[in-house]
Structure 1
């Protein structure tokens, strides 16, 4: 695929249902239109980390993305083998969490058209006590919308049973739906814009205080989640034309365009709906339909329904892109002999990693049983601790150890963007009041992955037990 298809896939991943649902959450976190600061800083953080991904992607343009980066940075026959295995292990859970968040959000927005989807059939709290770590908790909620979320995931898997050329064409059609949706929201807001209302900052809006920085951290958590996806094209680098040029371009172009879209969309909404009204919409039903309410307030009920349909299209496009990108990563690791061999199987006719795709789809469907807030919290903590920070530190290590390495793209203002990305992600984590509870998910996943890696390495004669790999099971 060329640059345009790569940018389209990246932006499809980034602009899912998230920003349409989370806009009130950012306003609540910041207590006013200064919520725009959260979106702006989220863009800055994404650009900083995007520069990390762009340099690594241009230097190592192979399918697998971060898997290849971690392996090469930390040593392909030593520590890097374990680090890359752990990346695939966490991705087996975090990727379906990301996919499930889109499916759950889609079903929640569909509740605007069919309110019966929001009726709760079952609500149950699952908990597991773990020695030394404490108790893990998860809230299971089953509604008619749950089945819609799971069905959406299954439908995306069916569509992905295609050749990569067909997928590239389909992604452009899905991207067309995204453009129509955001263009309508922005144009409607601009033509009915009230500047005094959009920038009606409360007293002390930007006064440095504990509550301000805590609120900013909460807002940055949400906006960072909404920007995530700029790295998706790195998973498909092996299928991109001239990856050493097009991968970094796709990353930076998609971040820049999405940042402009998000800022315009949020200013447009704040110029029509008072921020006090958004702050008051704290129920899940109100949060999930804010853009529909926005359109209904401007044009009437028909516009709210049409906006919902377009947002459902956008959400499905994001789910489609996520499944496409993530399914290639365990496949690359399996071919490398560093993950379960079954993930390396290709479809006999269309030659794509169908086992990996099916596993991702099934696990994502299972995660649709959880609440959206729990899914996002687990996803953010796991990704930051077991992927982003490792990549950012790894880039600094790679520059120091291998300055002679060919780098078709070099990070601007090195090492400032990498250091800012590290500081930004750490700030997101420590600013959360439930950080110590949420980090348990990542710790449990890490411990289980380490145990699995060492057991598997012992059977196969791999590092650290022996220097040279030998054939074996699993």
Structure 2
């Protein structure tokens, strides 16, 4: 009997939709006020530009690796190939290890944000909010429990909702008549000193979180059509589109609401629409924001479910995660496990705690190590080995490493230590696992 396999059915349009719905989750609506508060004025737009610049630079690394190794699991394969037979096994294991914690945190963050914004429409008790966030995770798992062709069509539908939501927000600011006013005053009171740089670094931790997801297509590499072209294109198109949407959304809100209101608002976009068009319109836009949050969790969970599957299929993780559904051909064990952990996390944590923890946990093993692996692989194989080539190599790689290191430092000592502790624990587990496998031979 033929074993079920992943099939290449996701087009460029669907891949771009999956990336963008992952990127535009609840993040930009939640962190908009936080970023404004950190930057203390209209200069908060610079933090969103900084997030976009880093995303473009880092996407070049993902594009080279994704186009060359278009397999399920994304970074798992990149780290294994980049660091060679011995070290690569450790690095790829550490990536899967931290993914088993970090991926549910990403899913839970969007679910918690979903519950947060629901309170604008329907006041919730503490346990009511937890029921909403947990229920959202369960619904996402239910919708993803099907074949990839159906998921691709669902992704495009959800993406359309994302675009409609952003168009309503941006259109409201344009119609108000003062759309460009925040841009004219972006440098008011701004001084290029250490305080500004420190604030920009701290604020960028929040904005970068809102851009994360541009690489989701790499985790689905084994299901993308013409991956050597569509993987890089989908990432760069996604980042360009999201950057325009984020900047326009922030400018739109700042053109209507006073900066003090933005900095202290719990539902800044809903209040923005309420000022423009009344409470009914604000409730409608809140429903659309909830659609966006839902779409983001759907897309993120889809990509992450392929990572433990890829590692298990390769013999580097527990075998049970290598199982595909016998008729629908998707990694159902991986999906159910990550969904279950995300459900628990959605009941335990708060949104701001999760945002910083996600970045601190991922930067060392995934982003920085992946960039270093690309340099090593380039020296061993030569630049002609790669099926897509970034401009000005190795400048973007070096810049990416330096910026990621600065953002890691900006997460603060507690989360830096937490990230290092998770990594160290992974090393210990890897050593124990390797010795157990060696002794069982």
Alignment of 1:217-232 (within 5 A): 217-232=201-216
**1:47 equivalenced with 2:24 (yes/no):** no
Quick one: structure 1 residues 196 and 47, their matched pair in 2 at CA, closer, same or farther if it must change by over 3 Å?
A: closer
User: What is the CA–CA distance in structure 2 between the aligned matches of 1:431 and 1:89, rounded to whole Å?
Assistant: 24
Which of 351, 359, 376 is matched with 2:355 structurally?
Answer: 376
State TM-score, norm by structure 1. 0.88
Alpha-carbon distance between aligned partners in 2 of 1:200 and 1:2, rounded to the nearest angstrom: 41
Residues 15 and 318 in structure 1, CA contact (< 8 A), matched pair in contact too: yes
Matched residues in 2 for 1:404 and 1:437: separation?
A: 39
Trace 1:331-342 onto structure 2 (pairs within 5 A): 331-342=309-320
Please list the CA deviations of residues 222-242 of structure 1 after superposition, one character each: whole Å capped at 9, or x if unmatched: 110000000100000110001
Aligned residue number for residue 386 of structure 1: 365
Q: Distance in 2 between matches of 1:253 and 1:190?
A: 24
Match of residue 391 from structure 2: 412
The structure richer in helix per residue is 2
The CA distance in 1 between the partners of 2:151 and 2:384, in whole Å, is 34
Q: CA deviation at 1:381?
A: 0.3
For this pair of structures, how many residues does the alignment match? 431
Deviation at 1:413, TM superposition (A): 1.2
Structure 1 residue 313 corresponds to structure 2 residue 291: yes
CA distance in 2, matches of 1:417, 1:97: 29
Residue 444 of structure 1 corresponds to 421
Mean Cα deviation higher: 436-445 or 320-329: 436-445
Cα distance, 1:203–1:454 mapped onto 2, change above 3 Å: closer
Question: Secondary structure at the residue paired with 1:78?
Answer: helix
Equivalent of 1:274, from 250, 254, 258?
258
C-alpha deviation, 1:334, in angstroms: 0.3
Task: Determine if contact 2:42/2:188 at 8 Å carries over to the other structure.
Answer: no
Tell me which moved more, 103-112 or 413-422: 413-422
Structure 1 spans left out of the alignment, 5+ residues: 121-142
Quick one: distance in 1 between partners of 2:374 and 2:198?
A: 29
Q: 1:61 aligns with which of 54, 70, 85?
A: 70
Q: Which moved more, 1:155-164 or 1:418-427?
A: 418-427
Unaligned 5+ segments in structure 2 are 1-9
TM-score relative to the length of structure 2: 0.95
Match 1:26 to one of 19, 35, 38: 35
Decide which of 95, 102, 106 is 2:114's aligned counterpart: 106
Contact 2:42 2:187 in 1 (8 A): no
Deviates more, 1:11-20 or 1:370-379: 370-379
Distance 2:173 2:58 in 1: 31
Change (3 A) 1:170 1:195: closer
3-state SS in 1 of match to 2:204: helix
Structure 2 CA distance for aligned equivalents of residues 96 and 196 of structure 1: 39
Please give the per-residue CA displacement for 1:427-471, whole angstroms capped at 9, x wherever unaligned: 222234xx221122212211221111111111212xxx9xxxx87
Residues in 1 aligned to 2:389 and 2:432: alpha-carbon distance in whole angstroms: 39
Q: How far does residue 25 in structure 1 lie from its aligned partner after superposition?
A: 0.9
Shift, 1:49, TM fit: 0.2
Secondary structure at the counterpart of residue 222 of structure 2: helix
In 2, the alpha carbon distance for the partners of 1:319 and 1:431 equals 26
* Residue 295 of structure 1: aligned partner: 273
> 1:206 Cα deviation (Å)?
2.8
Residues 38, 202 of structure 1: alpha-carbon distance in 2 compared, 3 angstrom cutoff: closer
Distance across 2 between alignment mates of 1:81 and 1:333: 10
Secondary structure at the residue paired with 2:121? coil
CA–CA distance in structure 2, aligned partners of residues 317 and 423 of structure 1: 32
Equivalent residues of 2:18, 2:217 under 8 A apart:
yes
Q: Could you tell me which residue of structure 2 aligns to residue 206 of structure 1?
A: 190
Confirm or deny: 8 A CA contact 2:360 2:408 kept in the other structure. Answer: yes
Displacement of 1:198 after TM fit? Answer: 2.0
Tell me the alpha carbon deviations over residues 35-86 of structure 1, each in whole angstroms, 9 at most, x when there is no partner.
11111111011000000100111111111111000001111x3110111011
* Equivalent residue for 1:85, pick from 93, 106, 110: 93
Matched, 1:325 2:309: no
Residue of structure 2 in register with 1:139 after alignment: none
CA distance in 1, matches of 2:370, 2:180: 43
Shift of residue 201, structure 1, vs aligned partner:
3.9
- The question of whether the paired residues in 2 share the 8 Å contact of 1:7 and 1:253 is answered with yes
Whether the 8 Å contact between 2:179 and 2:252 is mirrored in structure 1 is no
Q: Do the aligned partners of residues 308 and 195 (structure 1) sit closer, same or farther apart at CA in structure 2, a change above 3 Å counting?
A: closer
Deviations 1:289-332 (A, max 9, x none): 11110111000000110001000011000000011110011101
Residue 183 of structure 1 corresponds to which residue in structure 2?
167
Aligned CA RMSD, in angstroms, stands at 1.6
